[in-house]
Amino acid sequence: MTEIPEHLLKRAQAARDKAAEGSSEASSGASDSRIPDHLLERSKAARSAGDAGSVAVADKASAVVAAAPAGSVPVGAGPGGHTQRLLTVVKSGSIQEAKAAPVDKVHTWPHLLAVEFVAALALTAFLFLFSWIVNAPLLQAADFNATPNPSKAPWYFLGLQELLTMFHPMIAGVTLPGVGLLALVLAPYLDRNASNKPEDRKFMTSMMTMFLMFWAVLTIIGSFFRGPGFLFIFPWRDGIFFEF
C-alpha cells in the first residue's frame, strides 16, 4: 500500500476537526473555499435531496456520493462540508522495470559449442599422439581347439561376468542390469531439483556414486582377483591374469 505523506494526513485531520463543529460553520466556510461555484451549487442540491435518501452524481465519471440528511455534514466531508476528497497518492516512477533480472543461462552458440569444439580437437590430438607412441599389438589368432584359461570377457563386461558367478543367469544377466537401467531412467523424475550445483543434488549424487562404485568393484574383482577356472585368487600371491 502507498504511504500517504504526513502533510496530507495533517490536512485531513484538520478538515475532520473543522467539520465536527457543525453545519453552520461548514456553510460559512463555503464562501472562503477555492471550490468552483458550480460544484458548490451541486453539493447544496445534493444536501437538499437528503430527506429522500437520493444519490447525487458528483462528476461526469459517475462518482457516487451518498447524500446526508438536510442540515447535517455528509459523512467523510472535507473542509467546508464539501465531498471532494483525495483518492490516493501515487509515487513517481517507472511502471515497467527497465533492468532485467540476471539469470544463470548462456547461449549454446558460441559459449557451449566453442568449448566443445576445442575439447574435441584436443582429444583427437591426444589420441593421435598416444597411438603413435604406444604400441598396442594384437593377440595371436584365436584357436577354437584351445580355450584360454582363464577365459575372461573384455574389461567393460567383466562386471557382468562377475555377476554370473554369483547369481542365476536370468538374475545376473537380465534382472539386475534391467533394474539398474530403469533406476537411472526414473532418476530425473525422482529428483526434480532444478539446481546445477552439486551441493544441492545430494540425492542424485549419492545414487550415481553407488551405481558407479558397485560396477567398479565387480570389474576390479573380475580383472585382478580371478585366475584359472575363474576362481578367486590373490594377485599379490598368484599373479595377475588380465589382458586388455
Instruction: Indicate the helix (H) or strand (E) that contains 55.
Output: strand 55-57
Q: Angle at the Cα of 217 (from 215 to 222), degrees rounded to 5?
A: 95
Q: What's the CATH number of domain 147-238, 1.10.3470, 1.10.150, 1.10.287, 1.20.120?
A: 1.10.287
Q: Find the mean pLDDT for residues 201-223.
A: 90
Query: Is the pLDDT reported for residue 201 higher than 90?
Result: no
Quote the CA–CA distance of 28 and 46 in Å, as a whole number.
Answer: 18
Share of the chain above pLDDT 70, in %: 72
Q: Angle at the Cα of 29 (from 25 to 33), degrees rounded to 5?
A: 160
Which position has the higher pLDDT, 98 or 176?
Answer: 176
Q: Which of 62, 92, 58, 61 is nearest to 78 (CA)?
A: 58
Q: Which of 91, 87, 242, 104 is nearest to 162 (CA)?
A: 242
Quote the CA–CA distance of 50 and 73 in Å, as a whole number.
Answer: 11
pLDDT category, 90, cuts 50, 70, 90?
low
Amino acid identity for residue 122 in this structure: A
| pLDDT score of 56 | 40
For helices 176-190 and 202-224, the axis angle rounded to 10 degrees is 160
Share of the chain above pLDDT 90, in %: 26
Q: Angle at the Cα of 108 (from 102 to 114), degrees rounded to 5?
A: 120
Q: Are 193 and 206 in contact (CB under 8 A)?
A: no
Return the residue matching grid coordinates 574389461. Answer: 155
Which of the residue ranges 35-44, 70-79, 150-159, 184-193 has the most confident prediction, judged by mean pLDDT? 150-159
Q: Find the mean pLDDT for residues 7-19.
A: 83
150-176 pLDDT, tens digit each: 888 888 899 999 999 999 999 998 999
43-67 pLDDT, tens digit each: 788 877 764 444 444 444 344 444 4
pLDDT category, 94, cuts 50, 70, 90?
low
Q: Find the mean pLDDT for residues 219-230.
A: 91
The three three-digit cell numbers of residue 42, written as one number:
451541486
Q: What is the mean pLDDT of the chain?
A: 77
Domain boundaries, the chain: 6-81, 147-238
Q: Compute φ and ψ for 66, nearest 5 degrees.
A: -75, 125
Query: Is the pLDDT reported for residue 220 higher than 90?
Result: yes
Task: Write the burial class of residue 74 (CB in 10 Å: 0-12 exposed, 13-18 middle, 19+ buried).
Answer: buried
3-state DSSP call for residue 144?
A: coil
| 222-228-230-234 Cα dihedral, nearest 10 degrees | -50
pLDDT category, 234, cuts 50, 70, 90?
very high
Quote the CA–CA distance of 113 and 117 in Å, as a whole number.
Answer: 6
